[in-house]
Structure 1
Amino acid sequence: MKLPNVVQELIKAQNNFDSGAYANLFSETSVVHDEGKTHNGRKEVEQWIAEANEKYKSIMEPIEYTQKGNKGVLTANVSGTFPGSPLVLKFHFEINEGIIQSLKVTE
């Protein structure tokens, strides 16, 4: 499966629980939607992922990736310390010039 570099780096940062590296893959004006909450900008993204890493210890294993234009969907098996683990989740990206502009996580 061919993944854009920024998606490969996101998976690597997630699996290493590196919230700084994870957040640096997002633009300063990025938007993330997860668990019914919205996080705006790189600083909020870093805070969100640091808290999620601490709480859930999630590891991502890519299953499939599709892309149309600057939008992509990563389907991944996600395991961690959350109820129902493991789950298959979809990560809906908008990527411009190698930087994530938006991410929405769905089941």
Structure 2
Amino acid sequence: MTISLPEKLAAYFAAVNKRDVAGMLAQFGEDAFVHDEGEEMRGHAAIRSWIVKTTGKYGITADIQGVDAIGQALRVSAQVAGTFPGSPIVLHYDFTLGADGEIIRLEIGL
């Protein structure tokens, strides 16, 4: 079964699986917000630092399991594997997209 994602989200997950920092960052709006592992990042510089840190620390890959609308957000469920205890695990990525389809908010959790 193929799951259809908006263009920027498909590009984001393709970049995650390639560990392509620039490709991941390019999908975010300039003043985007990310919440992950109890930390909050806002803007490209902070989000880039988060991407570099988590990519280096965990080296994850994400296999998309589903996508649902949750209010104004899109919830993408993905089986995530990497170098962390309990791998693989299903995580939820709650995305809010801007007018041009760019990611303006991302919250990652169980």
TM-score (norm 2): 0.92
> 1:43 corresponds to which residue?
45
C-alpha distance in structure 2 between counterparts of 1:20 and 1:87, whole Å: 25
C-alpha distance in structure 2 between counterparts of 1:68 and 1:47, whole Å: 28
Q: Structure 2 stretches of 5 or more lacking a match?
A: none
Q: Which stretch of the first structure deviates more once superposed, 61-70 or 4-13?
A: 61-70
> 1:105 corresponds to which residue?
108
Q: What amino acid sits opposite 1:56 in the alignment?
A: Y
4+ runs deviating over 2 angstroms: 67-70
> 1:65 corresponds to which residue?
67
Query: 1:69, CA displacement in angstroms?
Result: 6.9
User: Which secondary structure does the structure 1 equivalent of 2:97 belong to?
Assistant: strand
Q: What amino acid sits opposite 1:57 in the alignment?
A: G
C-alpha distance in structure 1 between counterparts of 2:4 and 2:26, whole Å: 22
Q: What amino acid sits opposite 2:75 in the alignment?
A: V
Q: Aligned pair 1:79/2:64, yes or no?
A: no
C-alpha distance in structure 1 between counterparts of 2:21 and 2:83, whole Å: 17
Q: Which stretch of the first structure deviates more once superposed, 20-29 or 86-95?
A: 20-29
Q: Structure 1 stretches of 5 or more lacking a match?
A: none
C-alpha distance in structure 2 between counterparts of 1:6 and 1:67, whole Å: 16
Query: 1:22, CA displacement in angstroms?
Result: 0.5
Name the % identity.
31
C-alpha distance in structure 2 between counterparts of 1:69 and 1:7, whole Å: 17
